[in-house]
Amino acid sequence: MTSEREAAGRVVEPAPPVRSRRSLLFVPGSTPERIAKAALSGADGLILDLEDAVAAGEKARAREWVVAALKRVDFGGRERVVRINAFGTSEGRADLAAVVPAGSDAVLLPKVEHPGELERVDEEVTRLEREAGLREGGTRFHLLIETVAGVVNAHALARGSARNAALMFGAADFTRETRGRLVPGRVSEVYALSQVLLAARAAGLDAIDTPYFELRDRSGLEAHAGFAADLGFDGKAVIHPDQIEIVNLVFTPSAEAVAEARHVLAAYGDAEARGVGAVSLGGRFIDAAHVRGARQILARTRVGRQP
């Protein structure tokens, strides 16, 4: 998402997203056949995973397969994100050295906690882009906020690099650190979710929800995603292709919401033409704030049709 940042000490309203991130599908980097299949899915983006989904002995081979996929597979305009291993490890540094020159759209940085870490990764990616003859700044960052320190420092992290495009919440590791439990009402996550969302919005970034881990529970997935959508999240990570349709639906404005947004804009336009700054629409007060919300809904609808 591109937007204005802070100006004159005032946080300005983020611009509408330029890339849809309703659903980001995790695909193990060690499964090249699944990467090719996922590139044809309905997901808005793919996360080619070199970290948790790959066994220690398969890291180097998975890295080779991911690089080959980035160079040869037609992803149909979907965002190509690679989750690397922790940058402080030899595997993480090798991941960056391989996937940045291969032209990945973004890297997902796991367990990021401090802005200083982000600065070091930024410097390394800049060096790799220069050596590969790539446009500097073209490789974006998705930050996986999945630790207590990461949540506490979310606002600083969100502003830690001009490469930042999105913050993603990771519930499993977070609740392990807090010694909490993942429960249907998401009460153990709500503070962290709010922190990630507010940090993303203040910095003009997208906010992506954690995966839902119960693969056969479609109603649970819908409720889980709906909770994040109601908070204001832009999308959700998914871990199985069967989850994509529900998640896309939850994070796409409904036909009723789109019709209402258009009605609001039309009514407000008529009021402005008469020199009136607010209007009553069906017994509801409508002013400039409602107009901005209506425009955001329509912008999300347009972007949601990509790719």
What integer pLDDT is reported at residue 4 of this predicted model?
A: 35
pTM, two decimals, is 0.83
Residue 13 pLDDT > 50 = no
Decide if pLDDT at 299 tops 80: no
More confident residue, 254 or 77: 77
Structural domains of the chain, with CATH:
6-252 (3.20.20.60), 256-303 (no CATH)
Query: According to the model, what pLDDT value does residue 274 have?
Result: 74
The per-residue pLDDT of the chain, averaged, comes to 88
Average pLDDT over residues 59-83: 97
What pLDDT, on a 0 to 100 scale, did the predictor assign at position 262?
Answer: 72
91-110: per-residue pLDDT in tens? 999 999 999 999 999 999 99
pLDDT above 90 for 85: yes
What is the pLDDT at residue 8?
34
Which amino acid is residue 152, in one-letter code? V
Residue 300: pLDDT over 70: no
* Of the candidate ranges 123-137, 143-157, 165-179, 274-288, the one whose mean pLDDT is the lowest: 274-288
Residue 5 pLDDT greater than 60, yes or no: no
Confidence of residue 10 (pLDDT cuts 50, 70, 90): very low
Q: Which tops the pLDDT comparison, 305 or 201?
A: 201
CA distance 243 to 202: 29
Inform me whether the pLDDT recorded for 11 exceeds 60. Answer: no
Give the lowest-confidence range in 19-23, 170-174, 291-295.
Answer: 291-295
